[in-house]
Amino acid sequence: MSMKPNVVVIGGGFAGAAAASALAEAGVSVTLLEKRPVLGGRASSLRDGVTKEDVDNGPHLFMGCYRETRRFLRRVKVADRLRFPKRLEVPFLWPGGASTFCAFNWPFSVGLFAGLLRFNAMSGRDRYSLLKGLFHARFPRRKDLAFLTVSQWLDSLRQTPGSRRAFWTPLCFATLNASPDVACAAALEVVLRQGFFAGKKNRALGHSTLSLGKLWPVDLPGYLKSRGGLVASEQTVTGLPVRDGLVSRVELEGGNGGEADTVVCALPLPAFLEICPAEIRPSYAALDGVRFSPILSVHFWFDRPVFRGLFAGVLDSEIQWVFNREALWEGRGASAGGLSLVVSDAVEFLHSSSEDIVSRVLADLRKVIPDVPAPRHASVVWERQATPTPTPAFWNSRPGTSTPIKNLFLAGDWVDTGLPPTIESACRSGHLAAAAAKKYLEERSLRREPSPC
């Protein structure tokens, strides 16, 4: 491959796509290199071999406060493919019961608190405890949340087991993909402050109306091409040689490679550590111990619809969420009876066979929806390194976008954006990296410094 672009972006997930599109929008010529044949990374789709229907690697939800994500999607003109209901409404099911948590659209957080009063998944005492806890979380006095786990924070807020069961624990697994015993309190505080407490628009819970593989991955190549850039898929980057203190080349598997003026590395953390130039590797030594949380998704095809809503949380169960693919995708690409079950931080299932997983989650599903028939087909999709586990140690060791090498910038959900590792963190890091790369190119051209290649 021969190339001489201004900026090479490595990695075609949300972070790389946000960076590449922002640079292209600013008039920079971009080459996006992606290892796989398709874009999307950890938010992508795959074709089921039996039904030939698309399923996501795992159903994804988007919060109204995902500003950088919407900015990216607007840029590539696909923002209307996300759907945000007018108010936050999350049904919960548990064996023998159901209740919907619904936040009214009243000013400040009043609607949120009023909604909780009507949420029957917990006793009056638990609701009182939760309201008090939320009030204190709204104006946190503690300055050490970055060093506490969520459980330690909840202990100090004197939260009852009932409020943890029906609110805090599901919220922690859903937004941080980690148990309250290990997740960093500061990460959950951000979710509360920027989402739940920030008004009706920010706390809305949205979803893609198409499979993730059709949300933006098919549109991005055209967007970049129309601005002089390109997407090169099935290109695995294996090294970033440094000459005179700058990255001079991008090496590809198979011995090929190309010159690079500036590089935005938007890889998952383990992939970045593999190709990180030896000259700066010690700067990232603290990241060697970062752990990852798995997410398990089990996709079912039933002969008839078994659940009418869009999605629901599940309490007192091994499964945490039920998603109705047909309703989410508004009938496009999913047959009636398409249901996906999700288990965050699914360590309990790691050593189980697919058959065992299917029968365990089906048994749990029948406890909350009793008349579920035998499925026509089921498929188990693992993401074993779905997200970095946002422990206090991780939260305090995330690097920024700039690196000690002036023409190398980092993006990815693990980079320090002040947000938990999510799509929004990925997009924000991509936009930050693009801005930093553009500034570097501008300053270099003002100083009339030569390109490293």
Ligand X SMILES: Cc1cc2nc3c(=O)[nH]c(=O)nc-3n(C[C@H](O)[C@H](O)[C@H](O)COP(=O)(O)OP(=O)(O)OC[C@H]3O[C@@H](n4cnc5c(N)ncnc54)[C@H](O)[C@@H]3O)c2cc1C
Which one of 178-186, 362-370, 401-409, 418-426 is the stretch in contact with ligand X (CB under 6 A)?
Answer: 418-426
| Interface segment toward ligand X; rule CB under 6 A; list 34-42, 113-121, 148-156, 304-312 | 34-42
Cα gap 123→128, rounded to integer Å = 9
Nearest to 44 by CA among 14, 21, 74, 73: 14
Residue 433 sits in the site that holds ligand X (CB under 6 A) = no
Among 33-41, 97-105, 299-307, 319-327, the segment contacting ligand X (CB under 6 A): 33-41
337 in contact with ligand X (CB under 6 A): no
**Does residue number 176 form part of the binding site for ligand X (CB under 6 A)?**
no
In the block, residue with structure tokens 């009793």: 370
Beta-strand pair 45-47/377-388: unpaired
180 counts as binding ligand X under rule CB under 6 A: no
Which one among 8, 9, 61, 76 touches ligand X, defined by CB under 6 A?
A: 61
Please list the residues that pair with 228 across neighbouring strands.
none
The residue (of 122 and 405) whose beta carbon lies closer to ligand X is 405
Between 168 and 323, whose beta carbon lies closer to ligand X? 323
Site residues for ligand X, 397-416, by CB under 6 A, read: 412-413
Q: Which of 7, 32, 33, 312 binds ligand X (CB under 6 A)?
A: 33
Residue 387 contacts ligand X per CB under 6 A: yes
Residue for token pair 């990695």: 11
The residue among 354, 347, 429 whose CA lies nearest residue 389 is: 347
Q: Rule CB under 6 A: is residue 83 a binding residue for ligand X?
A: no
Q: Which residues, 183 to 242, sit near ligand X by CB under 6 A? A: 236-237
Picking from 259, 230, 229, the residue whose alpha carbon sits closest to that of residue 247 is 259
Half-sphere exposure of 168 (CA within 13 A, CB side): 32
Binding residue for ligand X, selected from 22, 42, 149, 329, defined by CB under 6 A: 42
182 or 346, CB closer to ligand X? 346
CB of 430 to ligand X, least distance (A): 7
Rule CB under 6 A: choose which of 31, 57, 109, 149 binds ligand X.
57
* Nearer CB in complex with ligand X: 262/387: 387
For ligand X, the closer CB: 39 or 365: 39
Q: Is the sign of the CA dihedral 401, 403, 409, 411 positive or negative?
A: negative
Site string for ligand X, 262-301 (x = CB under 6 A): ----xxx--x-----------------------x-x----
**Nearest residue (CB) to ligand X, 112 versus 386:** 386
Q: What is the DSSP string of 389-438?
A: ---HHHHTT---SB-SSTTEEE-STTS-SSS-SSHHHHHHHHHHHHHHHH
Spatial distance between the Cα atoms of 312 and 328, rounded to a whole number of angstroms: 12
**CB within 8 Å of 102: residues ≥ 6 apart:** 87, 88, 89, 90, 115, 118, 119
Size of the site for ligand X (CB under 6 A): 36
HSE-CB at 451 with a 13 A cutoff on CA atoms is 13
b/e sequence 292-329, b meaning 16+ C-beta within 10 Å: bbbbbbbbbbbeeebbeebbbbbbebbbbbbbbbbbbb
User: Would you say 43 and 217 are in contact if contact means Cβ atoms under 8 Å apart?
Assistant: no
The residues binding ligand X (CB under 6 A) are: 10-16, 33-36, 41-43, 57-58, 60-61, 236-237, 266-268, 271, 295, 297, 383, 386-387, 412-413, 421-424, 426
